[in-house]
Structure 1
Amino acid sequence: MRQYYSSIVAVVVGLSNSAMASSLTLTSDDISNGVHMSKLQEFNGFGCTGSDLSPNLKWTGAPKETQSFAITAYDPDAPTGSGWWHWQIVNIPATVTELATGAGGAQSKQIPPGSLQIQNDYGVAAFGGACPPVGHGVHRYQFTVHALSVEQLSVTEQSSGALVGYMINAHTIESSTIEALYQRDK
């Protein structure tokens, strides 16, 4: 009986260790959970005057079966009825584990080869910073890295945010999110 229990413990410990080993974690030098972003991540346009820089993002602990990554930045609090896509970048090679501050710019040369930026809700295939309506309160900005089970998603730069979101979710093995905040009072 003792050998039986020892085997059970070994299996449970083995499962715990393997689950812990593949825990995708997203971090950033520029943004943090529950903390207001700086003007660096504010949009430049629509009455906003920020630097419009995508934040530094880095991730660790991707599952072994990861074939590529996708990153999304989404504001669920935008008064649109469907939120606001600030950034979707897909087909990031599985060997990439960090994007530098500003990598998501329209003219950026820092996007990994083979990656594709999707047209955001501002109408640009790039990162578009926070720009909530004045007096609308605090908005949440969900920056998520997705470990995907496919090397390439079948989407184009002009694919809708909803379609790209669907394709990402259909192939996500694991994801990790930083939910940063932003507010404009004037």
Structure 2
Amino acid sequence: MTVTSESFQAGERLAPEHGGEAFGVSGGRDLSPQLSWGPLPEGTKSVAVTMFDPDAPIPSGFWHWGLADLPGDTTELPAGAGSGDDALPGDAFHLPNEIGGRQYVGFGPPAGTGRHRYVFAVHALDVDSMRELGATPETSLAVLHFLMRGHTLARGIIEGWASADE
């Protein structure tokens, strides 16, 4: 499954508006980027989307965004879809990011930590709802990934980067 974005090209720097206001990113608006994906494999019943920074200066990395239960025929999210559950189709819902919010929180790598990769992943799932597996809007993104094990038909990623040092 291929993931693309009108907001950034794979491997390129993310625009300031996708940065986090809470992290003091100049121009940061916590605006989730536009994402498109496909083709979805046969049997896809729902889709989940996550954003992770594996280069955060903590052992577990940093989860910036996660949502579950997008309808199984969803193939894109517009820019800003991470603003809250009202911006999502069907019964989709956001899960808490690392700062406790249930929405997209933009990048904000600390000075002195170099380039950080931001991995946007789209997961095609064989269940109608992650709620069937025990996920709720309070479930952590780490637990969501554990619950998706064995139910992921395909996964596609696109990476961008940001740095406070460049």
TM-score range, shorter chain: over 0.9
Pair 1:81 & 2:59 matched: yes
Output the CA distance in 2 between the equivalents of 1:141 and 1:165: 17
Structure 1: unaligned runs, 5 residues or longer:
1-23
Q: Which has the larger radius of gyration?
A: 1
Pair 1:162 & 2:142 matched: yes
Identity of aligned residues (%): 37
User: Which residue in 2 is equivalent to 1:92?
Assistant: 70
Output the CA distance in 2 between the equivalents of 1:143 and 1:182: 14
Structure 2: unaligned runs, 5 residues or longer:
none
Output the CA distance in 2 between the equivalents of 1:75 and 1:54: 14
Output the CA distance in 1 between the equivalents of 2:162 and 2:8: 11
User: Which residue in 2 is equivalent to 1:184?
Assistant: 164
State the shift of 1:124 in Å.
Answer: 0.2
Name which of 142, 157, 179 aligns with 2:119.
Answer: 142
State the shift of 1:170 in Å.
Answer: 3.2
SS of residue matched to 1:170: coil
Output the CA distance in 1 between the equivalents of 2:68 and 2:86: 16
Segment drifting more, 131-140 vs 165-174: 165-174
The number of residues matched between the two structures is: 162
State the shift of 1:97 in Å.
Answer: 1.1
Name which of 44, 47, 52 aligns with 1:66.
Answer: 44
SS of residue matched to 2:81: coil
Output the CA distance in 1 between the equivalents of 2:135 and 2:124: 17
Q: TM-score when scaled to structure 2?
A: 0.92
- Contact 1:100 1:110 (C-alpha < 8 Å) held by counterparts: no
CA RMSD of aligned residues (A): 1.4
State the shift of 1:59 in Å.
Answer: 1.1
Output the CA distance in 1 between the equivalents of 2:102 and 2:157: 21
Pair 1:119 & 2:99 matched: no
- Contact 2:64 2:105 (C-alpha < 8 Å) held by counterparts: yes
State the shift of 1:184 in Å.
Answer: 0.8
Q: Which runs of 4+ in 1 moved over 4 A?
A: none
- Contact 1:25 1:59 (C-alpha < 8 Å) held by counterparts: yes
Q: TM-score when scaled to structure 1?
A: 0.83
- Contact 2:16 2:25 (C-alpha < 8 Å) held by counterparts: no
